[in-house]
Amino acid sequence: MKELMKTLEAKEERMIAIRRHLHAHPELSFEEEQTAAFIVNFYEGVPVDSVETDFGGQRGVVVTIKGAKPGRTIAIRADFDALPIQEETGLPHASKVDGVMHACGHDGHTAYMLVLAETLAEMKDELAGTVKVIHQPAEEMPPGGAIAMIKVGVLEGVDAVFGIHVMSTMPAGKVYWRSGNTMTGRARFQLKIQGKGGHGSSPHLANDAIVAASAFVMNCQTIVSRRINPFDTAVVTIGSFDGKGQFNVIQDSVELEGDVRTMSTASREMVETQVRHFAKGLEGTFGVTTELVYANDYPVLYNDPVETEHVKNALERADIPEIIAVEEADPQPPSEDFAYYLKEKPGCFFYVGAAPDDGEAYPHHHPKFDFNEKGLLISAKAMAAVILSYHEDM
């Protein structure tokens, strides 16, 4: 453990340099050709046992490191896609790609994971068990990259799976865990409302789609307040209302898009039922026609209690000087396709605080998002502690 931690410390500047390179060259979900190539090239000359490319048919990369000592197989995962956001940080290493930005920290996840994997490979004569390193594309865009990699066997032979997310809104130096339901499941819907267009001066000759759509938006606000158990968690957001036209024109049709987050199967089913009910109800109430496409995607992220307790104990025993506290996290409203791995295998997805030392901590997916690069070394050390202690505890 001491040797591994010392080596990671010596490589901290490399982690930062890799992160900044990736940050300057972001690629959108399912388009990460150069990022995947960078990852593959990194492993040239690194004594790993195998590098599998285009895993899942979506540029995933899977690296296997077999320790010289017997032990179980664990998987560790880092995602590497960016977002369709115009960066506004003004950083020297800001995105060079117009309209695309690493606004969620996936560049950092990849940077720490590459260096950690390299270091584990260099020390595999002293390593017990097998480590499978999953470099996953397309976390941000449904259906996500995880599910395709799982379908072609990325978790075959794996006993447990672990992941980390750096968090710009959590204090730097703290690592957070949570057992059980930890992050929400997600759904999205698209609704087209077809009315009858006309002149603004003669509404009686038209059928205003905007009025019908507005009623739908307001009805949806009652789902959480009047249909969901107040001790459960649900969010319904109408993120797009496409009714733009001219001041004196009654819109012929309107299209809406919505986002749903829930923390239980019961709430997920209730929200979908109500959205479908309200959409269909517009036809009888307003005389319009509706087309609804509703899709559930990422499930609720469930951290196995046994593996989560292992993560907590491993971090506390490791006594990593850069970690000032190991604390329980609140439930997290965002969703994560790491949840698919946890539906297949026990494991834990935990968080490394990475709020900036100075200035405002902008949230993930914000044009000014950035995270404290101290979180890179902390992430590498934290995951290393979990890996090594996993075999010690068996």
Looking at the annotation, which residues are catalytic? 81, 139
Task: Give the dihedral sign, CA 6/320/176/373.
Answer: negative
Lookup: tokens for 15: 């982690």
Number of residues assigned to the chain: 394
Task: Read off φ and ψ for residue 138, nearest 5 degrees.
Answer: 55, 45
Q: Which residues pair with 296 in a beta bridge?
A: 187
Task: Give the dihedral sign, CA 128/350/174/91.
Answer: positive
For residue 79, the one-letter residue type is: D
The crossing angle, in degrees rounded to 10, of helices 12-24 and 106-122 is: 140
Burial class (CB in 10 A: 0-12, 13-18, 19+), 316: middle
Q: 166, 134, 164: which is closest to 23 by C-alpha?
A: 166
CB 179 within 8 A of CB 313: no
CB 190 within 8 A of CB 142: no
As separate numbers, helices (DSSP H) first and strands (DSSP E) second, the chain gives 10, 16
- Helices in the chain by DSSP H: which ranges? 2-10, 12-24, 33-42, 106-122, 145-151, 209-227, 265-286, 305-318, 338-344, 374-392
HSE (side-chain half, CA atoms, 13 Å) at 26: 29
